[in-house]
Chain A
Amino acid sequence: MNRILSLLTRPQDFFEGLETPWPLRGPALVVLATGLLAGATAIPVTRLTFEMLPAEAAAYAGIGLVAAVVGAVIVTLVLWVVTAAIAHGLSALFGGDGAFRRTLAAIGYGYVPMAIGTAISGILMWQLVATARVEPVADPLQIQDAITGLMSDPLGQAATVVGILFLLWAANIWVFGLREARTLSTRHALICVAVPVAIQVIMSASQYLG
């Protein structure tokens, strides 16, 4: 717990105290936990989606739920690697020095606040789905519009905002981690982190941009 608090509030001390080589098991577990929490958030939305589909599609609801959870975990893991790759590549432009493993670990540790944010967002989404009333749609292509409409609800918007806030917290940790992992200046580390963070913020906000 002390280590987690240190990571969240004193990331510089945390990363300076890490023993070389930086372990990947811890970060991987954090990312996996975040993925599972994201999967738990996807369950109510997926169930709502199947309620809107015709009755014959409802028979595949179970498979759909499993697929949603597994998909959320896989996407989280892939996003971890992609974020690390973008940050590592950009840091190379600034003369960064360090193995990709360290970058991967630094990004992975940054998922701790994202796990917290995902949990809070999940609670908000469960509350949103619990009060939602669905009507069957004749055209499955209308489901996207329906979900988008649902996310326009204050709870849906709050879930998105909370996710972005904790992403910023994670980005803060990534700055310290990348600075330590790739021996960068603070300014360069900020730049390397800003790009993948900006991409993720845009992706989160795009559902409201029509």
Chain B
Amino acid sequence: MRPLVLIGLVCLALVLVPAVQAGTADVAVTATAVDPAVLMRGDTGTLSVTVTNTGTGPVEISRARLSVRDLQVLKNPYPSVGDLGPGNSRTFTFTIRADAQDGYYYPKFELQFATGNSLRVPVLVRVDDTDLLLSVTEQPESFYAGKREAVAVTVGNPRSSPVTGVSVSLRGEGVEVTPTSRFIGTLAADARSTVIFNITPSQAATLDIRAIYYNGPTLHQAENTLPITFQTPKKAAAPLLSNIEVEKTGGAYQVTGDVINAGLKTAHSVVITADTPGKPVDPFRLYVVGALEPDDFSSFEVTFEAEAGDRVPLLVTYTDADGNAFERRVPVEISGTGGAATEGESGSVLPVAAVIVLCAVAVAGAIAWSWKKR
């Protein structure tokens, strides 16, 4: 009996052992994943490998590890694994950091079996440090102090993987921005998104355009700038004064002339008055012209007091369609006589009148005496 049992056990071992040895070959890598799909330099991501036991018996796995030369594996968390049943799958996830230049890397996933065999599979990891592109796609022809203008900013993703949590903001000293930032969200690969900001600059400045986004769990930032300089708008209203005549009436100066809008936009609420050192007086302290369309003109008249010889500027104020106020100053010579004037009183009127009266009396007397009959 005993020999038969021994022979049976040997046969059973011969059957079983080959069955156990054939299971490691049935373990295969069925899926790999890198998140984010394309890493940027310095990014932290995860590399996942899914293995499946396609055999009919369990396979004992002693450990799983990831090794790579250029990238950094932050942790190998699988020093021991255990059995993988037939038909079962297991995913091994490793945290990696892309401390490397742009390029393609192949970290090795290694599965050590209890039988001493091992399974080694390279996994592709791509590192690409390409940043998002920020550009100003629409802006006004020129900026003007205090005038609100719209600026369009386009964010483009030239990467081959999407980025998430994209938001854009504008900042500049002396510049009021509405809204302060805009949230875009996920930006797919090769996609772009345009956002509109309204800015009101009070001074020339450099506008900082900033986009923040996430590539996986890592926060990134793209920047650009937009210089804001003030220039005379080409299509602005331009009220000009011409045909100016100055007269002195009593103690005040009266200035008349024409105002014409030589610009390409309507000048609203045009008002003309005398500026310092002139002192506006009645009856025309200021003259309201109203709206002047391009190429339209109107006459005006202002009265003011000033010292003889002063150059008095006429102040022309007007607004544009948005209510932004503008002003121009036009100097006017007020010598009063076009080139010569007497300083103050050139002698009291009384002595002059006395001279005239005396002469008249003398002449009249002489004429009367000459006709007197002897």
- Contact stretch, chosen from A69-77, A94-102, A166-174: A166-174
Contacts of A113 in B (CB 8 A): 363, 366
Q: Is the interface of A mostly helix, strand, loop or mixed?
A: helix
Q: Does B335 contact A (CB under 8 A)?
A: yes
Are A172 and B367 in contact, CB atoms less than 8 angstroms apart? Answer: yes
Closest residue of chain B to A144, judged by CB?
B338
Are B338 and A131 in contact, CB atoms less than 8 angstroms apart? Answer: no
Contacting residues of chain A (128-150) with chain B, CB-CB under 8 angstroms: 128, 131-137, 142-143, 145-147, 149-150
Contacts of B343 in A (CB 8 A): 131-133
Contacts of A204 in B (CB 8 A): none
Determine how close the nearest CB of chain A comes to the CB of B244; give it in whole angstroms.
14
Are A131 and B347 in contact, CB atoms less than 8 angstroms apart? Answer: yes
Q: Does A28 contact B (CB under 8 A)?
A: no
Annotate B212-248 by CB proximity to A: 1 below 8 A, 0 otherwise.
Answer: 0000000000000000000000000000000000000
Known: A135-B339, A135-B340. A165 touches B363 (CB 8 A): yes
Annotate A102-124 by CB proximity to B: 1 below 8 A, 0 otherwise.
Answer: 00000000000100010010001
Contacts of B80 in A (CB 8 A): none
Contacts of B124 in A (CB 8 A): none
Contacting residues of chain B (315-374) with chain A, CB-CB under 8 angstroms: 333, 335-343, 346-347, 349, 352-353, 355-356, 359-360, 363, 366-367, 369-370
Closest residue of chain A to B354, judged by CB?
A158
For the complex, what is the distance from the CA of A159 to the CA of B2, rounded to whole Å?
Answer: 167
Q: Does B309 contact A (CB under 8 A)?
A: yes
Contacts of B369 in A (CB 8 A): 9-10
Contacts of A147 in B (CB 8 A): 340
Are B359 and A120 in contact, CB atoms less than 8 angstroms apart? Answer: yes
Which single member of A132, A142, A154, A176 contacts B352 (CB below 8 Å)?
A154
Closest residue of chain A to B341, judged by CB?
A133
Are A136 and B346 in contact, CB atoms less than 8 angstroms apart? Answer: no
Q: Does A197 contact B (CB under 8 A)?
A: no
For the complex, what is the distance from the CA of A176 to the CA of B366, rounded to whole Å?
Answer: 13
Looking at B338, B339, B356, B367, the one whose CB has the most chain A CB atoms below 10 A away is B339
For the complex, what is the distance from the CA of A117 to the CA of B333, rounded to whole Å?
Answer: 37
Are A149 and B340 in contact, CB atoms less than 8 angstroms apart? Answer: yes
Determine how close the nearest CB of chain A comes to the CB of B360; give it in whole angstroms.
6
Q: Does B74 contact A (CB under 8 A)?
A: no
For the complex, what is the distance from the CA of A162 to the CA of B342, rounded to whole Å?
Answer: 20
For the complex, what is the distance from the CA of A155 to the CA of B343, rounded to whole Å?
Answer: 13
Are A137 and B338 in contact, CB atoms less than 8 angstroms apart? Answer: yes
Q: Does A39 contact B (CB under 8 A)?
A: no
Q: Does B22 contact A (CB under 8 A)?
A: no
Q: Does B25 contact A (CB under 8 A)?
A: no
Q: Does B308 contact A (CB under 8 A)?
A: yes
Residues of A within 8 A of B (CB): 8-12, 48, 52, 113, 117, 120, 124, 127-128, 131-137, 142-143, 145-147, 149-150, 152-155, 158, 161-162, 165-166, 168-169, 172-173, 176
A/B interface sample: 26 pairs, CB < 8 A: A10-B369, A11-B370, A124-B355, A127-B346, A128-B346, A131-B343, A131-B346, A133-B341, A133-B343, A134-B340, A136-B339, A137-B339, A143-B339, A145-B337, A147-B340, A149-B339, A149-B341, A150-B340, A150-B342, A153-B342, A155-B342, A158-B355, A162-B355, A162-B356, A169-B367, A172-B366
